[in-house]
Chains A and B, each alone.
Chain A
Amino acid sequence: MNVGVAHSDTNPTHSYLNSKGIWLTYLLIIFIGHLLVLSIPYFSVALAWTLTNVLHDLAMFVMLHVTKGTPWVTSDQGDARTQTQWEQIDYGQQFTATKKFLTCVPVALFMLASFYTKYDSYHFIINISFLCLSLIPKMPQLHGVRLFGINKY
C-alpha cells in the first residue's frame, strides 16, 4: 500500500511501513537526529553516538511496543485496540522484510555506537541494555505476550 492511495484496509498500520520511501525516511530521520545531537556543544562524539542509540531505541520502543490500537484512524472500530503497532505490522506475520529491516537498524546502530565509543565498557552497558529493549519485544515468541501484565488493557 502507498500512503494516499485508495485502499479498503481499515487499519493502515498493517501496511504503511511497506510504502515507497518509508525505510529511507526512517534512516534519514535517524541521521538528522544524530547530526542534531552531535551539534550540541560540549558533547563528545562518543556521547553523541550513545545518545543517538538510546533515543532511537527508546522512541522505537514507545512507538512500536507501547502504543496500541490505530493512533490516527478510527475506522477499524477498535479491532486492534489490544495490539501493539509491532503486532499489527504485516497483519502480525513474522520475519517479513519490514520486520527484518526494523530489527537490523538498531543492531547496526549499536555497532556504530560501539565503534565510535571505542568499545568503552560504560557506553557498552548502556548501549546493550537499550538494544535489548529494542530487540527482545520483537521476538516472535513474545508476540501478544504482556510481561507481568504491563500495558495489558
Chain B
Amino acid sequence: MSSTMAILPATWDMYDLVQSFLRTPTYHLVVEVCLVLLIIKLIFSKSYKPEKMVLSEKEKEELIAEWTPEPLVPDIPEDHPVIQLMEKNIVTGPPGKYINIRQKSCINMATMNFLGMVANKTIEDEAVRCIKKYGVGSCGPRGFYGTMDVHLDLESKLATFMDCEEAIIYSYGFATISSAIPAYSKRGDVIFCDEGVSFAIQKGLVASRSEIQFFKHNDMEDLERLLQEQAVKDKKNPKKAKVTRRFIVVEGLYLNYGDICPLPKIVELKWKYKVRIFLEESFSFGVLGEAGKGVTEYFGIEVDQIDLITASLENAISSIGGFCVGKKYVIDHQRLSGLGYCFSASQPPLLAAAAAQALMLMQEDPGMMIKLRENCLKLHEGLTSINGIKVVGLPHSPVKHLRLVEPSDDRDLDNQTLQLVADRAIENKVACTVARYLEKEEKFLPPPSIRIAVNCQLESTELDTVISVLAKSFNEVFAL
C-alpha cells in the first residue's frame, strides 16, 4: 500500500491487480461502497422525464380545427377618423414649400422640409441620373450585394461633414436609432432616457431588453439622481457593475417638445458617472449650428465627446434613410449587429445620391441655416401673440407645437378642436397638421397640439400670411 508513484512498475498483469484489490485499504473500501450505493440509488430511484409534447392524430386535428386565423388587416369602421382624413387629405405633387391638398395650393407648414430640399431641381436630376445608372432598387442588404459606390460615397461624405471617423447609413430613418440602441445595449445593461423621446427611440429601448430608467424631460437634476442611485447600486455589487454598460439616450432637438437637450451638462455627467451618450439628431441635423452639424456644433462641444450620433435623412436632407456617426470601432460594430443594417435591403442608390447632393447644397450655402433661424424667430414671435394657445418649443426651433392654454379633460375633444383649426387653416391656404401619436403605444403621451414645421424658403410675407391665418382660425374656433 505504501508505495510512491515512482516505485510503481510500468505495467502489471491482471493477477497483480486482483491481488491488490483483495488487499484494498479500509478507507478506500468505505469510499467505494458509498459510491456503489450512490450508483444503485441513482439507477433504482425514479427518473423524472423532461416533459415531452406528443400529440395524437386526433388532438392534432382538433387543434387545427379550433384555429381561426386572425385577419391580416383588422376591421376598421368606415367612419374612423384616420380613414376619413386619408380620403379628405389627398395630396398631389411634391410636398415642397407649397403643397396641393384638397385641391388647393397651400403654404406647407406640416412637412419637416426645413431646408427646402423637397422638389429641388438639382437633387431630382441627380436621382434621375442614378436611376439610369443603377435602376431603382439595390436588391439586397449591404453585406449581400447591396453595396453600391454611392453608399460608400455618402458614408464618407457624412463622416467628413460631421468630423467623425466613420458613418454608417440605414435605409430607413425610423430603423436607424431603433437598430443602433439594441446593437450596443443588451439584457442586463442600463439606459437612462429622457421622457420626451420620440417613438423610434422608444422602440429601440424595448428591443434592447435593457433596464430603462426614464428621467423627466430635460431635467438634469432628475438624471443626476438616477445616476447616483445607479452608482450606489454599483458600489454594492461591483462584480455586476463590471459587466453592466450604462447609456444616456437623448434627442438633440425634441420632436415632441421643440426644445434642445442641455448637452454640456449631459457631457459633464457622462464623465462624472462613466456613462455613454447616444444622441439622436434627426431634427437638429441640418438645423442647429452654423454649418448645420447639429447640437454638438450649437453648443460648441467636440463630437468626440459623444459616443454615437444618429440622424434621419428624412427631415432637413429630404431623402429617405438615416445614418450613425462616431468612432470607427463603434460604428463598425453595427455592420454585423445593427439589425436594420444587416437584414434590410440597403438604401436605394437614387436616395443615397439625392442625400449626398442635398448635403452638398447644404455645405455650399450655410445661408440656409441662417434664413431658417430667422424664419423660426419671426414665426415664433407672431404665433405667441395669438390668444388661447401657447407655443411650445424654443424660438429658434423649426418644430413648434401649438397647444391649448386651457385644455379640457377629454383628449379626443381637444384633438377635434385642433382639427377644426387645421381644417380652417387649409381652407385659407395654410396647410398644418394636428400632431398624431399611436396613443396606446406611446410611453409618455404628449398633450394634443398642432405641429408646425418651418421651411427656410418661406418669405416674410408668407410668414405673415401663416400667422394671420392661424390667428383667424383659432379665434373662429374659440368663438364657436
Contact = CB atoms under 8 A, between A and B. Distances in A.
Interface in A93-126: 93-97, 100, 103-104, 107-108, 110-111, 114-124
B12 A119 contact: no
A15 B50 contact: yes
A110 B31 CA distance: 11
B240 interface: yes
B38 interface: yes
Nearest to B244: A153
Nearest to A98: B50
Contacts, number: 94
Given A103-B42, A118-B20, A46 B8 contact: yes
Nearest to A120: B3
Nearest to B18: A115
A72 B2 CA distance: 48
A128 B187 CA distance: 40
B1 to A, nearest CB: 7
B67 interface: no
A44 B10 contact: yes
Contacts of B50: 14-15, 18, 90-91, 93, 96
Nearest to A46: B8
B48 A93 contact: yes
Given A78-B187, A103-B42, A153-B240, A122 B48 contact: no
Nearest to B47: A97
Contacts of A20: none
Interface in B4-24: 4-5, 8-12, 16-17, 20-21, 23-24
Interface size, A (range):
35 or more
Interface residues of B, number: 40
Contact of A96 (B8, B21, B47): B47
B265 interface: no
B47 A121 contact: no
Given A118-B16, A119-B25, A95 B46 contact: yes
A97 to B, nearest CB: 5
Given A14-B50, A44-B11, A107-B35, A120 B209 contact: no
Contacts of B187: 77-78, 81
B235 interface: no
A47 interface: yes
B20 A119 contact: yes
12 contacts: A78-B209, A95-B45, A96-B47, A96-B49, A107-B35, A114-B32, A115-B21, A118-B3, A118-B16, A120-B1, A120-B5, A152-B239
Interface of B: 1-5, 8-12, 16-17, 20-21, 23-25, 28, 31-32, 35, 38-39, 42-43, 45-51, 186-188, 209, 239-240, 242-243
Interface of A: 14-15, 18, 44-47, 77-78, 81, 90-91, 93-97, 100, 103-104, 107-108, 110-111, 114-124, 128, 149, 152-153
